[in-house]
Amino acid sequence: MWGYLEFRFEVFMDNKQNIPVLEVNNLSVSFQMYDGIFGQKTLQVISELNIKVHAGEILAIAGSSGSGKSLLASAILGILPENATVSGELRYNGQTLTPKLQKQLRGTEIALVPQSVDFLDPLMPTGAQVDGHKKPYPTQKRHKIFRRFGLSEDIEKCYPFQLSGGMARRVLVSTALITDAQLIIADEPTPGMSLEQVLETLKMFREMADNKKAVLLITHDIDLAFTFADRIAVFYAGTTVETASAQDFQEGPEALRHPYTKALWHALPQNDFEPIAGFQPYAGNLPKGCLFAPRCSYSTPKCTLESPPLRMLRGGEVRCFCAEIFQK
């Protein structure tokens, strides 16, 4: 008990110094996999990944499937499978996120909106699941959240199998919104919702951030990301290739830094939907050097031999040797 109180005091002092609520430095995650009957191989799925999330902001994580977005959430919470090997640094309000601290903070200081509605307990009424078992919340608070989501109070007596996919998703989001967590990790929280429900969900995340919470929003929808987020981190093949402000995305490709980020912008329906050739490399067959080099029209011999570091450029971060060369 005293250890936890000491930790909370340290959190209070650290917040006064405006350090990030969450800081991820050079995170790498690999999995030991069977290869044939007797062999084994290592799959490097995340490498040299860096992000920071401050109180009062939404950091959106964008990237294609398989880029490491959901694995990042699992690494932060300490819920990776046993065959995972993790290196790098995870810090929460300046404190190293050890396995013991991760377990202590899950569901209290750090709340997760998981990607799948299968996380709902099929044997427990939804109302009880939203209230939580570690610290029950006032019924009025649950009712207020349900009303905003268009859910009747009768839903609290239903079991997950009695809900539609969209209703189950809204209940799942409610389990995080009702908490007093300082960090909310939302992993693709809106599939199956109507546009009105999606906007209401993101509006609630925005309100939480405006109330000095930190929100990590994992999403495929870049349009919604730069509408509600403050900054966007772009993942490719398990690493961060750019972190830019939402304003940069709104201004267009000239304000962006990495060729993959620019390609994402051009691929949006309102921007002529211009795809690029090739595909994101598989974790078991990553190219040497820059991971994007095989698809990049600006690639140089250096790009195919060396991995570019993440560096500051024009108020954002980029992992590219040639970012100053091109503007579109």
Assess whether pLDDT exceeds 90 at residue 271: no
On the 0-12 / 13-18 / 19+ scale of CB atoms within 10 A, 192 is middle
Digit-coded pLDDT (tens) for 109-134: 999 999 888 889 999 999 888 887 55
pLDDT for position 42:
87
- Is the pLDDT at 6 greater than 70? The verdict is no
pLDDT band, residue 209 (cuts 50/70/90): very high
Annotate 52-80 with b (16+ C-beta within 10 A) or e (fewer).
Answer: bbbbbbbbbbbbeebbbbbbbbbbbbbee
* pLDDT tens string 20-54: 999 999 999 999 888 877 778 888 999 999 999 99
Residue-range domains of the chain with CATH: 53-79+181-318 (3.40.50.300)
Structure tokens given for 183? 């960090």
15 or 210: whose pLDDT is higher?
210
Q: Which neighbouring-strand residues pair with 33?
A: 41
Instruction: Please name the residues in contact with 183: beta carbons below 8 A apart, sequence gap of 6 or more.
Output: 21, 22, 53, 92, 109, 110, 111, 213, 214, 215, 216
Strand segments, DSSP code E, in 170-238 are 183-187, 214-218, 231-236
What is the model's pTM?
A: 0.88
Mean pLDDT score of the chain, rounded to an integer? 88
